[in-house]
Structure 1
Amino acid sequence: MYGERPTPYIFHTQISKCDARPRSVVLAITLMSSQKMENSVWTSEKVVLSPYKDIEVPKLTVDQYTFRNLDKWASKTAVVCGLTNRSYTYEQVYKNSRIFAVNLRKKFNIKDGDTIAVLLPNIPEYPIITFGILAAGGVVTTMNPIYTAYEIERQILLSDTSLIITNEDLVPKVKEALTLAKKEFPIISLNITQSPTEGTISYKELVEDNHANLSVLNEVNRSYNDIALLPFSSGTTGLPKGVQLTNRNIVSNCEQQNTEIRQYEYSTESHQDSTLVILPMFHSYGLSSCMLHKLSVGLRLVTLPKFQPDTLLNALLVHRPQLLYLAPPMILFLGSYPQVTAKHLENVTCVTSGAAPLPSADIQRLYEKAERDIPFCQGYGMTEASPAVSATRKGEKTSENVGYALPNISLRIVDADMKNLGPGEVGELLVKGPNVMKGYLKNPQANSEVFVDEDWLRTGDLAKIDETGLITISDRLKELIKVKGYQVAPAELENVLKEHPAVLDAAVIGIPDPVTGERPIGFVVFKPGVKATDTEIIEFASKRVAPYKKIQQITFLNEIPKNATGKILRKSLKEKFCK
């Protein structure tokens, strides 16, 4: 299905050497001495193809795929705690995960397809637990450690969880959630340095079992088309839903990142790149892009359980990671926090931003702190796509776009009637590819709304794609502000506000207006030691936008509310300030 490519248009594009991009052999390329390239990623049906050569997806489960090259880096460190320096080699991760898997099957009667919840911060045991569940034939559903008992209860019921693994300090909250859910099932307590809480099972005993019979795992019968991960996402609208990601989805997305957009150096006997994993592993960005993919290519993970300025800066100095995968608030922090120096960033070879729009001013501040232009990449994705959809190539300086579709991915830009639009036109972005989820768990209504024309995923994001396939995200479709019938993108106005020399961070939402239908209002956080009046900021922004986009009201805040991956919580702002 994904190998089918309709007849392409032909465009003539002037490019420079640094813009030359590999093209699939089906795209009719002619490279001339004048550096002109005759090519197309647009088909006659206005479908956009990836400019990169298609990949073949290995028919392996996630755990099989990750450890397929174990012999190449068995003795290298796989994961280390950025706080305690507790670490595991690749061989230890593999061995411990399989012992854990045996005990899940034998002591808890886990069967193929059973769902097991992981309620943990970023710790070195996270990969062991994840691969152990998968090796046992289970499905991993991840939970946010800051969830309330009610939120845990909801996910337990929706996912049909039959076992949960959590930290010692979270056990009381899990027990409360089980009471609310009227469920009784085992709680495995991650007791690294202490005895387990009463009524829980010791994780240490399950992984340090030297008598585990590994032949038990021969009973497991899981294929690459089976569900592996069940993260929860709100999708384009509504309450969180279980996103069914198959082994094929995850393996595809890992392979898609090993192509021309590769950001890491290959692991060898004498070299191993490391990456800081501060993005939460319960979220698909941290789980798939940072943990699963990087372990599949032999990198070293440095985990931090949560964002704290001092621990982050210490980890940068001590562990000297080459790769930083961050959300915009973290890049904002690195560029503005007084204690950050070039020393903290001297070993970094690539910074990747995703999860939310990033103003160019924030990138420039990061360059100033580093005292050099660190190779910078932006990506676009969503949980439902495992998660990566597109990325810029390492070293391409950009803040306006999110690169090109990854291999094997096709895109459409559509209007409200689902009719395909052409180059440069703004509409909703649709995605198709082997990394796109199987669907939402037990939610046929949501599936009917998110999938169109059988297998095209609606992203809920407004975007435009130029003649070469370069993608620019405009905003969330549901967050657009309608002023006198005009569409106003909050992200555009936020970027304008952050250009003001006194503004550190900003958010924009739309509120009802009896004359215009809606009007944009802004929220601003000042840089330390700098102030400005609301009138000054409003005048600054008004000079830079069309009349219907003008902000007429500014509220000053200590911080902009955001979720764990950096997305602005506009709903929270509306609930608090717009009653």
Structure 2
Amino acid sequence: MVAKNLFTVKRTLNSVKQSSKYSSIVIRENSVWTQDRVIKSPFKDVEIPNLTLYDYVWQNLDRWPERTASVCAETGRGYTYEQAFKLSNRFAANLRTKFKICDGDSVAVMLPNIPDYPLVALGILAAGGVITSINPNYTAHEVQRQLKMSEAKAIVTLPETVPVIRESLNIAKINIPIIAVKRNDNPVPEGIALFNELSEDIHTDNSVLKQVRRQTNDICFLPYSSGTTGLPKGVELSHRNIIANCEQINDPIVAMHNETTSTHQDSVMGVLPFFHIYAATVLMFHKFSIGAKLVALPKFQPETFLKTIEKHKTNILMVAPPLILLMGSHSAATEKTFEHVKSVCNGAAPLAASDVERFLQTAKHEIDFRQGYGLTETSPTVTIGPKGSKQHATTGPPVGSTELRIVDINLKNLGPNETGEILVRGPQVMRGYRDNPQANKEAFTEDGWFRTGDLAVADENGIITIADRLKELIKVKGFQVPPAELESLLREHPSVNDAAVIGVPHQSKGEAPKAFVVLKDGHKCTERQLSEFVNSKVATYKHVDDITFVDSIPKSAAGKILRRVLKDQYC
């Protein structure tokens, strides 16, 4: 039994406690650990406005109408906040009148990081729709699956991606409107509506938007996450879920932004993909709500990324581990590159303290570096370090109004410094997986705790360190790659009898998929042939280039693939 005094820590944040700057901020005075071994947030509970996400984002528009809302890092094309508001509203009105989008209808967005992305997303919300975001690098095979699962009524993309969309519609045997965002003078395929024309039509009657009836508990965002080893599931996030998370990271002790005033505006790098929950909430929706300048980087290239940080005087960076490794080692990364950077937050996957120190040594000045932890299902932020924290290997305590449990295999609560699965309860936790009662049953305990599938340890102060994953998702450069998806594709090959996929360490990607394949009797097939067969159907980060042929796949009595056995035998 853990000594009782380990559960009676009055404050978790010594550095904050010692700072007079935060003397007026309310921090929970009771124990971080309860006697039942539940970790309470040390931060004050959040007040969640009874608004839709659309109204929440624009509620302070009158304070910064002329400020830059979003700008393209490559071309300089962008919008002020006033322009973004007007254009997104016209787009919304046209979605309802010309495309018959009704309250609760899903509209797919398959775009790279361009300054129009937030306008498209907010326009869908203004129309009463639900955003379902799609990776712009997806193949037609991947796109059609999400379009069918989300029951999308329209899709917004780029002209150059239209052929992929059309192929996906043919595969799915559905017919929905395609709307393209025109960025240059390149021709647009026939039969395609243009976002630019829909949003710039000054004759649009916006009064149709008065018909929208959406409440804070309604679904507004439908990203797809693998959740476990299986195929993607629709994560139902409500307006309240995302607003709660924005308010949680607004807490003065954890906030990484500054107030937008007549003399200051934060410049935030939009390098993380907007279709991913991390960037969607923490960059796009949140930063628009506080009037920051969002610098959109459409295509990642190391030199461009580093030059953009310097050119736009970026002071806030939201990144994932591969970017930290790059910033700490690339020859183009210098002290001058990061001279304006004040705050950096790492998410998507844990990072070693040594990697953090390497970056800070390159920057050569004081930077508030922190790590956060979250999931698509939690909107995403669950934990984040406070300002001034030097515990670079940890992800901090739970954010406001959030409780955590660290449990063993039998869901019994563990105590400080014991490793177990993280369970979460808070206003940012999703409503559930769309049309998937079995997945919901597996994801939530009977008393409403969300099972993350991640292993972690919490110290006496409730500070979390991520240890490993119970679920077997492969994290390639921070992107989720479900083994089951690749295994299913491998088994579609006429020569394959069975297959298993695991994640193995990779120097630049973090992890990479490795496949084990059992061929059918009498069949022959090369590693290259199988790789080409799978890779033609999936996005680049899911590519399988490492294949080992085996006689059998180890499985449990229940038929579950024993991936740990494969790792022990071959890795």
Question: Structure 2: how far apart are the matches of 1:14 and 1:225?
Answer: 32
Please, which moves more after superposition, 371-380 or 89-98? 371-380
Q: Note if 1:218 corresponds to 2:227.
A: no
Q: Note if 1:98 corresponds to 2:89.
A: yes
CA contact (8 A) 2:403 2:425 kept: yes
CA offsets per residue over residues 509-557 of structure 1, 9 Å max, x none? 9xxxxxxxxxx9975649xxxxxxxxxxxxxxxxxxxxxxxxxxxxxxx
Q: Secondary structure in 1 aligned to 2:357?
A: helix
Task: Report the equivalent of 1:543.
Answer: none
Q: Note if 1:426 corresponds to 2:424.
A: no
TM-score, reference length from structure 2: 0.81
Residue of 265, 280, 283 corresponding to 1:287: 280
CA contact (8 A) 1:245 1:437 kept: yes
Question: Structure 2: how far apart are the matches of 1:22 and 1:234?
Answer: 42
Residue of 79, 83, 89 corresponding to 1:88: 79
Q: Note if 1:228 corresponds to 2:226.
A: no
Task: Report the equivalent of 1:475.
Answer: 468
TM-score, reference length from structure 1: 0.80
CA contact (8 A) 1:77 1:90 kept: yes
Summarize the alignment of residues 211-290 of structure 1 with structure 2, pairs less than 5 Å apart.
211-259=203-251, 260-290=253-283
CA contact (8 A) 2:12 2:42 kept: no
Which residue type is aligned with residue 472 of structure 1? T
Question: Structure 1: how far apart are the matches of 2:154 and 2:12?
Answer: 57
CA contact (8 A) 2:11 2:32 kept: no
Deviation at 1:311, TM superposition (A): 1.3
Residue of 320, 331, 336 corresponding to 2:324: 331
Deviation at 1:17, TM superposition (A): 4.4
Task: Report the equivalent of 1:78.
Answer: 69
Task: Report the equivalent of 2:534.
Answer: none
The number of equivalent residue pairs is: 488
Gaps of 5+ in 1: 1-7, 30-38, 481-489, 492-508, 510-519, 527-567
Residue of 37, 56, 60 corresponding to 1:46: 37
Task: Report the equivalent of 2:136.
Answer: 145
Deviation at 1:25, TM superposition (A): 7.0
Question: Structure 2: how far apart are the matches of 1:288 and 1:413?
Answer: 26
Residue of 394, 405, 417 corresponding to 2:410: 417
Query: Post-superposition, which runs of at least 4 consecutive aligned residues in structure 1 deviate over 3 A?
Result: 11-27, 520-526, 568-579
Change (3 A) 1:24 1:479: farther
Question: Structure 1: how far apart are the matches of 2:14 and 2:290?
Answer: 32
CA contact (8 A) 2:342 2:366 kept: no
Task: Report the equivalent of 1:312.
Answer: 305
Residue of 8, 28, 32 corresponding to 1:10: 8
Question: Structure 1: how far apart are the matches of 2:303 and 2:275?
Answer: 23
Please, which moves more after superposition, 370-379 or 351-360? 370-379
Summarize the alignment of residues 442-457 of structure 1 with structure 2, pairs less than 5 Å apart.
442-457=435-450
Task: Report the equivalent of 2:514.
Answer: none
Task: Report the equivalent of 2:532.
Answer: none
Summarize the alignment of residues 350-369 of structure 1 with structure 2, pairs less than 5 Å apart.
350-369=343-362
Which residue type is aligned with residue 355 of structure 2? D
CA contact (8 A) 1:24 1:54 kept: no
Task: Report the equivalent of 1:112.
Answer: 103
Change (3 A) 1:207 1:296: same
Question: Structure 2: how far apart are the matches of 1:24 and 1:571?
Answer: 50
Deviation at 1:572, TM superposition (A): 7.3
Change (3 A) 1:214 1:338: same
Task: Report the equivalent of 1:484.
Answer: none
Question: Structure 1: how far apart are the matches of 2:115 and 2:266?
Answer: 17
Change (3 A) 1:571 1:469: farther
CA offsets per residue over residues 218-239 of structure 1, 9 Å max, x none? 0000000000000000113311
CA offsets per residue over residues 10-60 of structure 1, 9 Å max, x none? 347897545658899795x3xxxxxxxxx5111122111100010110011
Change (3 A) 1:243 1:202: same
Residue of 151, 158, 167 corresponding to 1:160: 151
Residue of 434, 438, 462 corresponding to 1:441: 434
Change (3 A) 1:114 1:444: same
Question: Structure 2: how far apart are the matches of 1:175 and 1:96?
Answer: 27
CA offsets per residue over residues 248-285 of structure 1, 9 Å max, x none? 00000000010020011111111101100000000001
Question: Structure 2: how far apart are the matches of 1:15 and 1:206?
Answer: 50
Residue of 359, 362, 370 corresponding to 2:363: 370
Task: Report the equivalent of 2:396.
Answer: 403
CA offsets per residue over residues 420-476 of structure 1, 9 Å max, x none? 111221110000100000000101000000011342110000111122111111110
CA contact (8 A) 2:181 2:195 kept: yes
Which residue type is aligned with residue 110 of structure 1? I
Q: Secondary structure in 1 aligned to 2:153?
A: strand
CA contact (8 A) 2:16 2:387 kept: no
Which residue type is aligned with residue 356 of structure 1? A
CA contact (8 A) 1:22 1:53 kept: no
Task: Report the equivalent of 1:197.
Answer: 189
Question: Structure 2: how far apart are the matches of 1:402 and 1:458?
Answer: 18
Residue of 119, 122, 129 corresponding to 2:113: 122
Which residue type is aligned with residue 326 of structure 1? V
Which residue type is aligned with residue 78 of structure 1? A
CA offsets per residue over residues 345-398 of structure 1, 9 Å max, x none? 000001110111111221121112112242101000000000000101233122
CA offsets per residue over residues 140-188 of structure 1, 9 Å max, x none? 0000011010000000010001100000110000000000000111100
Task: Report the equivalent of 2:123.
Answer: 132
Question: Structure 2: how far apart are the matches of 1:14 and 1:220?
Answer: 44
CA contact (8 A) 2:369 2:392 kept: no
CA contact (8 A) 1:328 1:354 kept: yes
Which residue type is aligned with residue 416 of structure 1? I
Coordinate RMSD, CA, aligned: 2.8
Change (3 A) 1:479 1:232: closer
Change (3 A) 1:274 1:14: closer
Task: Report the equivalent of 1:516.
Answer: none
CA contact (8 A) 1:22 1:52 kept: no
Question: Structure 1: how far apart are the matches of 2:206 and 2:81?
Answer: 18
Change (3 A) 1:284 1:171: same
Which residue type is aligned with residue 36 of structure 2? E
Q: Note if 1:386 corresponds to 2:384.
A: no
Question: Structure 2: how far apart are the matches of 1:572 and 1:445?
Answer: 33
Gaps of 5+ in 2: 1-5, 476-482, 484-501, 509-540, 550-566
Change (3 A) 1:73 1:424: same
Q: Secondary structure in 2 aligned to 1:343?
A: coil
Question: Structure 1: how far apart are the matches of 2:543 and 2:138?
Answer: 19
CA contact (8 A) 2:11 2:42 kept: no
Task: Report the equivalent of 1:540.
Answer: none
